[in-house]
Copies of this chain bind each other. A is one copy, B any other.
Amino acid sequence: MVFGAIEAGGTKFVVAVGDASGKVLKRETYPTTEPAETMKSVERFFKQYEGDLEAIGVGSFGPIDVRKSSPTYGYITSTPKLAWRNYDIVGALKKAFEVPIGFTTDVNAAALGEVTLGAAEGLSSCMYITIGTGIGAGAVVNGKMLEGYSHPEMGHIMVRRHKHDRYQGNCPYHDDCLEGLAAGGAIEKRWGKKGVELAENEEVWNLEAHYIAQALMNYSLILSPERIVIGGGVMKQRQVFPLVRQKLKTLIAGYIQLPDLEEYIVPPKLEDDAGVTGCILLAVQTKNEA
């Protein structure tokens, strides 16, 4: 008895099978090329487990349609990756495998992974934020992944520009939303180098923390999570964490009580396994609800 996981990312697909506790038993990785090609590898992987496979959990790059009542439920929708636009990934899996399929965003899956077995283990709520090429975030509320009319798109919230920041922003929709000002792409365009080459430049990370702290202020006031886990390439610059905590404290100004900030804002514990672990756990949830 195994549970399948597909972490569908814009550059790679990670597929795995795991046990009911969320433990990864076997995994493979394929580049994200075109649906026909990538999904052929995915199917070949899971065919090995046919008979033992109980369900599959998919955590996908987005935007995706998670509304069960929608005619395009289970589709990857308006992604800039043209080959995948309006691709019915859940439909394709249902054709190939007669098991229940769970479907959510990559970041919601990662939040479920971290709250079950990672940096927020044992809590009933947490957020998972990834700050890399783009900014995405998912959340678990009362033990369940956060969805409503659709899935959250928290990377695009409005923030206040720093008065000395002249960079116009990088988001094709909103210019200077959080992602437009603070994702890896914005750092590279603003400073002319990748974040990893700017590790010693304090100004870069103070500005980065200025934007991230504003986002955490709004997330905290709106969602009141018990813990905020922040991963992604940009956050490998661990010097950002203390700056973000300090700036968040200043912004909140004592208005609400937060958990101890050292415990509230933390890096992932599962690291690159958060998503795939969450997908296994989503498969388990989906099986239990089927």
Task: List residues of A whose CB falls within 8 A of some B CB.
Answer: 63, 124-125, 141-142, 144, 146-154, 156-160, 173-174, 214, 217-219, 221-226, 251, 253-259
Pick from B153, B217, B257: contact of A221, CB under 8 Å:
B153
Cβ of A156 and Cβ of B224 under 8 Å apart? no
Complex A-B: 30 CB contacts under 8 Å: A141-B141, A141-B146, A141-B148, A142-B142, A146-B223, A148-B223, A149-B224, A149-B225, A149-B258, A150-B257, A151-B224, A152-B222, A152-B224, A153-B256, A154-B221, A156-B255, A156-B256, A157-B218, A157-B222, A158-B159, A158-B251, A160-B160, A173-B253, A173-B255, A174-B251, A174-B253, A174-B255, A218-B218, A218-B222, A222-B223
Q: Binding site of A, secondary structure by majority: helix, strand, loop or mixed?
A: loop
**Shortest beta-carbon contacts, A-B, top 9:** A125-B148, A148-B224, A173-B255, A149-B226, A173-B253, A157-B218, A148-B225, A153-B221, A150-B224
Given A148-B226, A149-B225, A173-B254, A157 and B125 contact (CB-CB distance below 8 Å): no
Q: Which of B146, B157, B255 contacts A217 (CB 8 A)?
A: B157
Given A63-B256, A158-B160, answer yes or no on A221-B152 (Cβ-Cβ < 8 Å): yes
| Further pairs besides A157-B221, A158-B159: 17, Cβ < 8 Å | A63-B256, A125-B149, A141-B146, A142-B147, A146-B223, A148-B226, A149-B258, A149-B259, A151-B224, A152-B224, A153-B224, A153-B256, A173-B253, A174-B251, A174-B253, A218-B222, A222-B223
